[in-house]
Amino acid sequence: MPASAKICGLSTPDTVDAAVSHGAAHIGFVFFAASPRDLAFGQATGLAARVPDHVGRVGVFVDPDDALIDAAINAGKLTALQLHKAAPARAAALRSRTGLEIWAAVAVRARTDLDAARSFDGAADRILYDAKTPEGSALPGGMGVRFDWALLDGFPHPLPWALSGGLDATNVGEAIHRTRAELVDVSSGVESAPGIKDMDKIAAFLKACAAS
């Protein structure tokens, strides 16, 4: 069965339409001021209105406070929260308070980094394995960095999971075949410049997923 895909960091109507029309299972809206993909709430409201109900609307956050979460959920009509740099207890609290699906990002560079996934069992609904960005980076992801997929070999995943980090149309087929990922997540790999999504790259990425 082909892997499904999340196209993350969308910020314009045409790129949202491209992702939906070419079969994205999830759309990602970023709410993090340091990111070139950061959305204002008004933008999110307009974009969310273009997303049909069968496509998930995932809000992406970095150690967010409750006020940001609540405003983003309302603006983006979010169906899931993707949390970076959030402890399991925080993930569990947001899951309980909002009733939404929680995706917990685990930053990976070495095999031992995967151990963090186990701490989210019972606190989150899905693990997002993403590449650990260089020390001192302002962003926890979306930088086109990938990790060694072989690190996932034989790892007993505690939860449903998604693969992220450095994916694009040229390598996602290999990534899916290598890791058996059922869900893949892309951001910079479908951009022409940081924060600027490319409709042709979105289409090519989703076509490659469908062919996997």
Q: H helices of 164-198, where?
A: 172-179
Residue in this structure with the two tokens 């650990």, named with its chain if needed: 132
Name residues whose C-beta falls within 8 Å of residue 200's C-beta, 6 or more positions apart in sequence. Answer: none
Active site residues: 8, 130
Burial 186-205 (b: 16+ CB within 10 A, else e): bbbbbbeeebebbbebbbbb
Spell out where the chain has E strands.
4-8, 26-30, 56-62, 80-84, 101-108, 126-131, 161-164, 183-186, 191-193, 196-197
